[in-house]
Structure 1
Amino acid sequence: MTKLSVNINKVATLRNARGANNPDVLSVATDCELFGAEGITVHPRPDERHIRYNDVRDVKSRITTELNIEGNPTDKYIDLVLEVRPTQVTLVPDAEDQLTSNHGWDTRTHRTFLTDVIGRFREAGIRTSIFVDADPEMVACAKSCGTDRIELYTEPYASGYSANRKQAIAPFIAAAEEARRQGLGLNAGHDLSLVNLAYFHKCIPWLDEVSIGHALICDAIYMGLRDTIAMYKKCLE
């Protein structure tokens, strides 16, 4: 069964626009669980322009499913993760001022750094995942870093889906098969939506988890959060 983890960053972005507490990030997180999500994802950035560091602490104390904390492993981020002790940490190579994630790690070049960081998290009993492009070599090198899982960066699949979905999915199948050969767990995320998720899952049914935020929250504006989560879960059956 592939789990759905809802990224609530966009909810925090909307809240922060007015400076009060509407919408309530914690209420949305617990409602996502109530409506069927098997996890909550947050991606705190150094400028706290959406999810704030205190939000991460509060969400961990309130939810009953899995918490996944994404981010670039700066010292501040590492300290937060070790304090909060989420179920999973996903390492993403974001620049401090980056609008959104746009590439995976070069796990060969950064192997020593990633190995050291992952070692600290694994000692704390936290499942680790490395954000990577759909490149079997990067997947194999991720294994040598000691990670438990990888997360495939799926924007290239999403952007190519309409033109030729068989061509768009091909490198992701190759990377996913390499992950399976390496004994790695497999996550995926970025620009997955109701348009393209079912086909992605059909082609790679051994996915452990998808993390979806922007498209899901946009869909919820029109269809409501309960129905939207149900529709995304239907894509993963």
Structure 2
Amino acid sequence: MNYFLPLIIGFTAASVGVAPPGLLNMTAAKVSAVDGRNRALMFALGASVTVFFQTYIAVLFAKFIDRNPDIVVLLQEVGVFIFSGLTIYFFWAGKKKKKKEEAFKTRSKTSRFFLGMLLSFLNLLPIPYHVVISIWCSRKGWFFFNQSDISLFVLGSVTGSFLMFYLYILFFKRKETDEPSFLMVNGNYIIGTVTGIISLFTIFRIITS
């Protein structure tokens, strides 16, 4: 049981972190509602690939980052810049005409895969999140910074993230009728609101830290 504890910790941490509406899961939901489940799954797979590298890097350098809190602050400041830019972009995209939405529908599964990787790469919040989780669990004696524990933790994190994406995809399945759904019409505004909230929350964290 102790051998699989890092797997359970990684899975639980990622599931809790991805469960609330955020940039990636809401985008996965929008892709599912507009383009269908298969392309949404490709998006989720692409996002999960980036989650793998983010989690591995975060855990691998957790001790170093913990000893240098300025790095965490720097990541937060970069995150504010990125999410502010994404907020502006999605609100701007929401004002486009419906004709532009057709271009969104015709994109290939491959483009959805790389879109998932890109948006997940721009989302820097999982890095300090997994740093804190891994260090806290290490101090509790539940996790050790050896290769086996790190690998299991990363595997659990990727699995938990993909599962949450999949649940969002299942909930927002594509409508067969020509009538656009609420998410199809307002998806960009919803995602823009989420990234705006994340930006404000990150700014608050920087000020109060």
> What is the TM-score with the length of structure 1 in the denominator?
0.23
Normalized per residue, which structure has more helix? 2
Normalized per residue, which structure has more strand? 1
> What is the TM-score with the length of structure 2 in the denominator?
0.26
- Larger Rg, first or second structure (1 or 2): 2
